[in-house]
């Protein structure tokens, strides 16, 4: 399996499929690059070089005690890009991965990045504070950490319901998709899973969004129960210079089913233009 070794010794797994203009896909918490299997094939079939990595602590990557924070995630991504010598790069990030690619592009990607796509992404900042009064209260994130520590297996099974909107009338997400969410979650190291909650909820990406100078397509479901659209995409679009926002009616946080099909078509249209 292909790995790079980062400057602090972490081993980062990645998959590399197809040939053409490179596209890197960054996954959400608590998943890994397997979450992008359909998109990897779609992109490679369309003539792109599709690459997805497992964030440190997740999936097949190593589980270092330190570095489970957004600055280090972005640095790891920068070192992967440099190791593969990627240019004219397209970035795609879901949820936590949306924050990772935005921070990478703003702080490391100058001259390398051509376009960005985010879906259900965490920027600009999730947690409620005096500066962000309509954010999600810190108690919600404390509850996630407590659930991970108490019984992570059951917690991931339960979380898959809201993640995919299975708790909504008429939901069509399969049990298999929910089981795969659990499977991927169980591959995350406990320390990484715990620390990443702070990374995705308390990191402020405001300045990163404002610094972006390339086109960005911001996708978000209006029934996202994990990253509410009103405190994420609808704020992010006001901060970027070259942004397009598309709202997917009734779509949940997890990318599956009809939402996945429509988003896939929109991604191809955006990156091929």
Residue 84 makes CB contacts below 8 A (sequence gap 6+) with 16, 22, 51
Q: Which residues of 245-255 are buried (b: 16+ CB within 10 A; e: fewer)?
A: beebeebbbbb
Give the SS3 label for residue 114. Answer: strand
Residue 218, beta-bridge partner list:
118, 245
What's the chain's Rg over C-alpha atoms?
Answer: 17
27, 194, 220, 253: which is the annotated catalytic residue?
Answer: 253
Would you call 62 a catalytic residue per the annotation?
A: no
- Specify whether 224 is catalytic: yes
Identify whether the C-beta of residue 159 lies closer than 8 Å to the C-beta of residue 141.
Answer: no
**How far is Cα of residue 205 from the mean position of the Cα atoms in its chain?**
14
Q: Which among 95, 160, 201, 236 is annotated as catalytic?
A: 95
> Is 58 annotated in the active site?
no
Which residue in the list 220, 224, 231, 236 is annotated as catalytic? 224
Residues with a catalytic annotation lie at 95, 224, 253
């Amino acid at each position: 399996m292909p790995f790079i070794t980062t400057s602090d010794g972490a081993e980062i797994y990645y998959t590399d499929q197809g040939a053409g203009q490179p596209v890197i896909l960054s996954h959400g918490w608590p998943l890994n690059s397997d979450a992008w299997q359909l998109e990897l094939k779609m992109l490679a079939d369309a003539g792109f070089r599709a690459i997805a990595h497992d964030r440190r602590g997740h999936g097949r990557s190593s589980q270092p005690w330190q570095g489970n924070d957004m600055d280090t995630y972005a640095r790891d991504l920068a070192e992967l890009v440099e190791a593969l010598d990627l240019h004219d790069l397209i970035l795609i990030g879901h949820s936590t991965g949306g924050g990772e690619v935005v921070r990478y592009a703003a702080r490391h990607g100058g001259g390398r990045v051509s376009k960005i796509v985010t879906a259900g992404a965490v920027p600009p900042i999730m947690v409620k504070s005096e500066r962000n009064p309509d954010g999600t209260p810190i108690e919600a994130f404390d509850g996630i950490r407590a659930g991970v520590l108490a019984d992570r297996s059951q917690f991931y099974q339960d979380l898959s319901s809201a993640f995919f909107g299975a708790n909504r009338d008429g939901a069509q997400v399969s049990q298999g998709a929910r089981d795969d969410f659990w499977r991927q979650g169980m591959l995350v190291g406990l320390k990484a899973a715990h620390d990443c909650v702070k990374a995705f909820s308390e990191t402020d990406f405001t300045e990163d969004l404002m610094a972006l100078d390339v086109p960005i397509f911001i996708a978000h479901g209006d029934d996202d129960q994990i990253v509410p659209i009103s405190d994420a995409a609808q704020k992010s679009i006001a901060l970027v210079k070259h942004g397009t926002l598309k709202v997917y009616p009734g779509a949940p946080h997890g990318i599956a089913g009809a939402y996945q099909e429509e988003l896939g078509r929109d991604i191809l249209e955006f990156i091929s233009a």
